[in-house]
Amino acid sequence: MSYAVHKTKSDRVADAVIYTILTIACLSTLFPLYFVFIESITPYKELIRNGGFVLFPDQVTLQAYKAIFGSKLVPDAIKVSVIITFVGTFLSLLVTTCLAYPLSKKEVPGGRVILLSIVFTMLFNGGIVPTYLVVKGMGMINTIWSLIIPTLVSPFYMFIMRTYFVNFPVEVEESARVDGCGDLRTLFQIVIPLSMPIFVTIGLFYGVIQWNSYFNAILYVSDRSLYPIQVILRNMIVTSSVSQELNTNPSVLQTLPPDTIRMATVVVTTLPLLAIYPFIQKYFIKGMLVGSIKG
């Protein structure tokens, strides 16, 4: 039996106010992305004619995208970013899982000491110079591993995953052990497949960190062929010569303002994350709800 909900006039006014506020918040969030995309496809003459701001361009040009993909540096930087994102996310999830799962068991000897040690790293760190010396001592300078290993595990995400494992049904694990499964087999064949929401959520966080990472590349990499796309974008914003940063003939960019090139690069660096999110949205939302309910 269903009951119709009759809203009073004050309820309808309150709903209208809430929807209006949410709409304004949504538009204020989307407008910068829209502005960046529009400026990247608007011809230079039209930008000048309209004072650098065009809401709906009369013409569309892809010259900025042709310029950045015509440079060897940007495609190579995208490849580096893709590699460190996929490899880094996979390794981060693997190490975080192998650390969080045992620490979720009370019977693990020394587990409390290890947890306190991990909490200590959340409050204090060795600093940039000691970390650089460690990376250098391990021979990772000017290698792609220097972009992955130093940020391999986040203590915060490890604690989130550990909290999930603490609340994982013990009966499921006991049933697996009765069937002859060891700890590793129980983890990888039983626990992980049943924990996809939290894995997708943490994986998305790790992926965003790896994709947006540029500070490690500035510290540990001097070989431009190992620069991720975020470093290229950062250099474009900091330096005034976009043609020099792209290693492109300046005559190619005579009809393109530097800001248009920068905006096109921003679109290229942002689009992969925006394209992936809709496919994992249901897992992400479920994982966030699980993390907020289970404590």
For the residues 153-172, what does the mean pLDDT come to?
87
pLDDT on residue 245: 62
| Domain locations in the chain as residue ranges | 1-61, 64-293
- For the domain 64-293, what is the CATH superfamily, name and number? MetI-like (1.10.3720.10)
Residue found under tokens 């300046």: 250
Higher pLDDT, residue 165 or 6: 165
Q: How far is CA 266 from the centre of its chain?
A: 15
Convert 8-37 to b/e letters by CB count within 10 Å (16 or more is b): eeeeeeeeeeeeeeeeeeeeeeeeeeeebb
Q: What is the pLDDT of residue 1?
A: 45
Amino acid identity, residue 156?
F
pTM over 0.75? The answer is yes
Average pLDDT over residues 51-80: 82
Q: What is the mean pLDDT of residues 89-113?
A: 89
Range with the poorest average pLDDT among 83-87, 91-95, 221-225: 221-225
Residue 295, pLDDT score: 44
Query: Across the chain, what does the average pLDDT equal?
Result: 82
Q: Are 209 and 89 in contact (CB under 8 A)?
A: no
92: nearest Cα among 204, 216, 249: 204
Write down the pLDDT at residue 246: 66
Rounded CA gap, 40 and 17, in Å? Answer: 35
pLDDT at 289 over 60: no
